[in-house]
Structures are given as C-alpha cells and as structure tokens.
C-alpha cells in the first residue's frame, strides 16, 4: 500500500486548486475529478524526481503558504 497524503482543494472563480500539505505540491483542474488526477500525477512525478535526486529536501507547506492558499 502506498503512502497517504493530505490534500486541500478549493474552488476559485475559474478553476479548482489543490495543495498536498506534506509535499507542498499544487495542481489545478476544472472539476474535483480533474484536480484529483492532476494532483496525484504531480505527486508521482515529484516523488520519482526525489528518488533520482536524493539530495532534494522534501518539506511540508509552511504556515504562511497555507494561509495564502486558503485566502
């Protein structure tokens, strides 16, 4: 079973925006299904890159960035 991550999704005027809290990765989409797919793909690509570059520092979203995302 794979790792489970926490995502927040919000709707802006034109699209949905999501952020993975543990990895600080964002994605956009036209609806909930689209944003789930886009965020999942972004996480997979990011984790593959981290495997190839182990010096990459993985860090969660900061409080300031989270507040900005939510506003």
User: In Å, how far are 17, 44, 45, 46 from 11, measured between CA atoms?
Assistant: 6, 23, 24, 24
Q: Are 25 and 59 in contact (CB under 8 A)?
A: no
Strands (DSSP E) found in the chain: 7-11, 16-20, 25-29
What percent of the chain has a predicted confidence (pLDDT) above 90?
86
Where are the domains positioned within the chain?
A: 7-70
**Euclidean distance between CA atoms 50 and 14, whole angstroms:** 32
> Is the pLDDT at 1 greater than 70, yes or no?
no
Model's pTM, two decimal places?
0.87
pLDDT digits (tens, 9 = 90+) for 15-35: 999 999 999 999 999 999 999
Phi, psi of 19 (to 5 degrees): -135, 135
């Amino acid at each position: 079973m794979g790792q489970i991550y926490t995502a927040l999704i919000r709707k802006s005027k034109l699209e949905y925006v999501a952020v993975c809290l543990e990895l600080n990765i964002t994605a956009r989409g036209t609806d909930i299904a689209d944003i789930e797919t886009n965020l999942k793909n972004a996480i997979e690509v990011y984790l593959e890159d981290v495997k190839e570059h182990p010096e990459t520092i993985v860090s969660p979203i900061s409080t300031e960035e989270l507040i900005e995302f939510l506003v």
